Amino acid sequence: MQAVTAIGFDIAKSVFQVHGVDSFGQVLIRRQLKRRQVIAFFQKLPACLVGIEACASSHYWSRELQALDRKADSGNIIAMNFCAHCYGWLWNNNPALPGMKVARAGTLDNMDWAEPMGNIWMDSKAAWVKIDPELVNFPKGLVDRTPLFDAWTRHNQEMSA
């Protein structure tokens, strides 16, 4: 089974509807939640795109969901950073690695300056995604970051030479 990549979140006064799909559009989650269950439900899910209906409380729920930090497989807490205007996910901060940000490809308007050093979570990539086998690739989350840091360091040395 694929991981949930997008959720439609229908908000109401006391009963909420959640509809989650994978990268192929296959329905994985379809359930109702009471208001007191919403935060606990989203805390258990991996980070994904959440579409919320536009209504009076949508900004409240957007802020609540954005405030959820994620625990990585390594046990590190990952703080997610979102756009203040559209509430789209921009990057993650890992407190264990100050100065390093993890961005999803395509989230910035101009990516000409960026060049990928590697890929993580290869097991959950969309079927149509093409990955360069020359990069440092990991099937799941990073346990040992050394190969990725080495590739990044080599790249920076080449660019400054």
E strand spans, 11-161: 15-21, 27-34, 49-52, 70-71, 77-82, 89-93, 101-103, 118-119, 136-137
Token pair, residue 93, equals 């901060």
Side chain identity at residue 62, one-letter code? S
Query: Which comes out higher in pLDDT, residue 1 or 90?
Result: 90
Which pLDDT score is estimated for 28? 92
The pTM of the full predicted model, rounded to 2 decimals, is 0.48
User: What are 159's strand-pairing partners?
Assistant: none
- Please check whether residue 20 is in contact with residue 29, taking contact to mean a CB–CB distance below 8 angstroms: yes
Q: State how far the Cα of 105 lies from the Cα of 90, in Å rounded to an integer.
A: 10
- The per-residue pLDDT for range 52-99, each reduced to its tens digit, is 888 888 888 888 887 776 666 667 677 777 666 665 667 777 676 666
- Across the chain, mean pLDDT equals 79
Distance of alpha carbon 94 from its chain centroid, rounded?
Answer: 13
Report the pLDDT value the prediction gives residue 161, as an integer from 0 to 100: 67
- Least confident piece of the model among 81-95, 115-129, 134-148: 81-95
